[in-house]
Structure 1
Amino acid sequence: MSQSSKIVHMTTVHHPYDTRIYHKECVSLKKAGYSVSLMAPIDEQNDSQDEKNKVEIIPLKKYTNRWKRMLFGPLQAYKKAKKMNADIYHFHDPELIFVGWLLKKKNNTVIYDVHEDYYTSIMQKEYFPKPIKKIIGKLYNSFESFLIKKMELCLAEKYYVERYQRGTSILNYPILNDKLINQKINRQIDSDKLLYTGNVSVVRGAFYHAEIPKILEDKHVYFVGECSSDLAEQMKDHAAEKRDYLHFDGIDRFVEREEIDKYYLNENWIAGLAIFPETDHYLKKELTKFFEYMSAGLPIICSNFPKWQAFIDQHQCGITVNPDNKQELIDAVNFLKNNPIKAETMSYNGRKAVLDELSWESQKSKLIAWYDQLLNK
């Protein structure tokens, strides 16, 4: 590894301080001695430089309109990236695939960081009619397959290797927070609070979670993550007379890692929630929030998809429920409330699994070794 090696990470979609892109990958590479820059959309509230970690933030114009972003975002990213003459370009959005293809030269490396299963994601987009989705999905597959032939692939989930067999898995495990890991686990039977962290959307179970106060007396649900004001209002309407039992921190804004960690630290929660409807996109994913809940010592209550069921069974860290069976959810919450010792055991099991094998520390060393290998080719 050469300290003069220039690394440029690129996104036109994510917040500049996105946990995976910035806190995990960019900061880890910077601390390993690389010269690291991050190109990301900036608004007036974002700082263009992080003084603590010295990762250079290169601002891109932030577009509120999706179509303008998809058209003009890649164009401005390409113009700026081309001038930088980096040794490695590492991009994080499928709309930048053509930019990555243009940037690839004989003497550099381009990495496509696959955050999602984009084909199944396209097939569940609510704003596309079904026939259009099928056409777009097929076109995307063909377009992607052709353009990524000379790129390296960085995979955020285990099962993505089924689609990208030559990819390198750098899994999205959590950064260990010493305060969280060292916080004493103490289950309190008088808690009435359930927690959901991460982006809030319909396909991530917004209305399943919003229904909880109606079916579980005096239970409050806290949502810590970006949620549109329109969806938040719809969820409150769904909760009807229990609308005040839903609490949102992140309406129309990105919630940074430090803010989420404060919620893990400062409250006593019955469990961390992930009651998702069944969609192809999430059936095989191990959610990042699972690992975060586990590191914070929270039992998990999640949908009983086969992969999720196997994960919970393996680590003995929570309870799975049929998302369409209200009684199973009632029973799961009441079980954790009425059996604090068993709930505490789940908390310890989850935290131990994160400490032993499911933290970013294991992936950080893989990332740095991989970069060293790519630069020494």
Structure 2
Amino acid sequence: MNEGKRVVHLTTVHHPHDPRIYHKECKSLKKAGFDVYLIAKETEAGVDKESGIKHIPIKDYTSRWDRMTKGACILYKQAKKLRADVYHFHDPELLPVAWLLKNNRNHVIYDIHEDYITSMQQKEYLPKPVRKLVARAYKKMEQFFTKKMELILAEKYYKDIYPDGDCVLNYPMVNTAFLEHQREGQMEDKLIYTGNVTDVRGAFLHAKLPLIDEQITMHYIGKCSTAFADEIYRIAGDQSDRIHIKGVDQYIPKEEIEQAYLEHNWLAGVAIFPETEHYMKKELTKFFEYMNAGIPIICSNFPVWKDFIDQYQCGITVDPHNDQEIKDALDYVRNHPKAAKKMGENGKKAVQEKLNWGAEETKLINIYQHLLNK
């Protein structure tokens, strides 16, 4: 039914191995019989040719402005040549490109990964007085360009902003290595954080953990700028030798992150974020990844996060600015290994039975088939 239907995924921002774009959506569509192309920045490795997904590389510009102008123009020319049945794009800066690609013979899908309207008000590279103005201007621009597009939402609460969008949530694929892996023996005094390392994602709060607990070693696994790494080490001070960062100025592939979950008997996966409107409403992707790996979670006690942790009994929530609360949580998982193991098992069970990509894959394919049957 889907044979010969051409699908082109477009991104100038994300890595070609991005878990949502490549490993989940592109591979699921390929498996369903679509002819799948991915236009994304060039890398040394490219994409796995055996997957059958055709990667068209474009230059990776270091300048944001060059990426949004030169990169977008190159991407548009490449995409137009392919005459796709469906164009599926992932970056707000590609809204004008996607608008130009839309015609009466195709469909265009805007995959909304983030609440950009809220996050723009937290962009550190924008002066504070202009952030709200930029967010309002973006909202107007987005409404104009997306009038004839379909919207896919990666997060449940985005429905409040985009009521006409369809949720295809960013749940993990169940990893068979995690199914077989059992957390046995003494837990190590090691904490893991995975994903991009930034201030709003708790980088500097996590840097304090070796100061709060003298037994803890903090491991960051994800892309981190040199400047952020230097600041993390500075905050840790004389405990900086208990900070480990894998990913300074480099992208860490999904496979390496998943392997890291298996390398130690982690005490917990952490997501101790400062209060921001953007993250307080989200169910973090890293929650599902920690759960998938059977690792208890220690995270900020935002109401949405606390409700999630309480529902699945998979971790502990803390006041991100209360060192004693954080220390008590670390002591609890350390001194109650059976309870900590149960938290990990609860999380793993929830992912295996409910919070996984399987159901979301079906939703994605159904959306495509509905569009193409119109």
Please name the residue that 1:279 is paired with.
Answer: 276
Contact 2:2 2:32 (8 Å CA) reproduced: no
Distance (whole Å) between structure 2 residues aligned to residue 279 and residue 246 of structure 1? 25
Contact 1:6 1:86 (8 Å CA) reproduced: yes
Distance (whole Å) between structure 1 residues aligned to residue 135 and residue 10 of structure 2? 24
Please name the residue that 2:322 is paired with.
Answer: 325
Contact 1:176 1:360 (8 Å CA) reproduced: yes
* 3-state SS of paired residue (2:298): strand
Contact 1:274 1:302 (8 Å CA) reproduced: yes
Contact 1:175 1:361 (8 Å CA) reproduced: yes
Contact 1:270 1:337 (8 Å CA) reproduced: yes
Which residue type is aligned with residue 88 of structure 1?
A: V
Q: TM-score, normalised by structure 2?
A: 0.98
Please name the residue that 1:341 is paired with.
Answer: 338
* 3-state SS of paired residue (2:278): coil
Distance (whole Å) between structure 1 residues aligned to residue 353 and residue 151 of structure 2? 26
Which residue type is aligned with residue 210 of structure 1?
A: A
How big is each residue's C-alpha offset from its partner over 1:217-239, in whole Å with a ceiling of 9 and x where there is no partner?
A: 12101111100111111100110
Distance (whole Å) between structure 2 residues aligned to residue 187 and residue 96 of structure 1? 49
Query: Does residue 290 of structure 2 align to residue 293 of structure 1?
Result: yes
Aligned-pair Cα RMSD in Å: 0.9
Query: Does residue 82 of structure 2 align to residue 84 of structure 1?
Result: yes
Please name the residue that 1:112 is paired with.
Answer: 110
Please name the residue that 2:48 is paired with.
Answer: 50
Distance (whole Å) between structure 1 residues aligned to residue 34 and residue 214 of structure 2? 53
Contact 1:187 1:340 (8 Å CA) reproduced: no
Distance (whole Å) between structure 1 residues aligned to residue 286 and residue 12 of structure 2? 23
The aligned runs of 1:1-377 (5 Å cut-off) are 1-43=1-43, 45-47=44-46, 49-186=47-184, 188-189=186-187, 191-377=188-374
Structure 2 vs 1, CA of residues 145 and 187 (structure 1 numbering), >3 Å: closer, same or farther?
A: farther
* 3-state SS of paired residue (1:146): helix
Distance (whole Å) between structure 1 residues aligned to residue 111 and residue 32 of structure 2? 19
Distance (whole Å) between structure 2 residues aligned to residue 102 and residue 214 of structure 1? 53
Distance (whole Å) between structure 1 residues aligned to residue 26 and residue 220 of structure 2? 27
Task: Name which of structure 1's ranges 294-303 and 62-71 shifts more when overlaid on structure 2.
Answer: 62-71
* Residue 52 (structure 1) shift: 2.7
Distance (whole Å) between structure 2 residues aligned to residue 42 and residue 123 of structure 1? 30
Q: How many residues are aligned here?
A: 374
Contact 2:183 2:265 (8 Å CA) reproduced: no
Contact 2:26 2:36 (8 Å CA) reproduced: yes
Which residue type is aligned with residue 70 of structure 1?
A: M
Structure 2 vs 1, CA of residues 287 and 187 (structure 1 numbering), >3 Å: closer, same or farther?
A: farther
* 3-state SS of paired residue (1:52): helix
* 3-state SS of paired residue (1:203): coil
Structure 2 vs 1, CA of residues 65 and 31 (structure 1 numbering), >3 Å: closer, same or farther?
A: same
Structure 2: gaps (5+ residues): none
How big is each residue's C-alpha offset from its partner over 1:43-70, in whole Å with a ceiling of 9 and x where there is no partner?
A: 4x232x4223121100111001112111
Structure 1: gaps (5+ residues): none
Write out the 4+ residue segments of structure 1 that deviate beyond 6 Å after TM superposition. none
* Residue 187 (structure 1) shift: 5.6
Distance (whole Å) between structure 2 residues aligned to residue 46 and residue 144 of structure 1? 34
- Residue identity (%): 53
* 3-state SS of paired residue (1:199): coil
Task: Name which of structure 1's ranges 50-59 and 325-334 shifts more when overlaid on structure 2.
Answer: 50-59
Q: TM-score, normalised by structure 1?
A: 0.98
How big is each residue's C-alpha offset from its partner over 1:183-206, in whole Å with a ceiling of 9 and x where there is no partner?
A: 1132624x1100000110000001
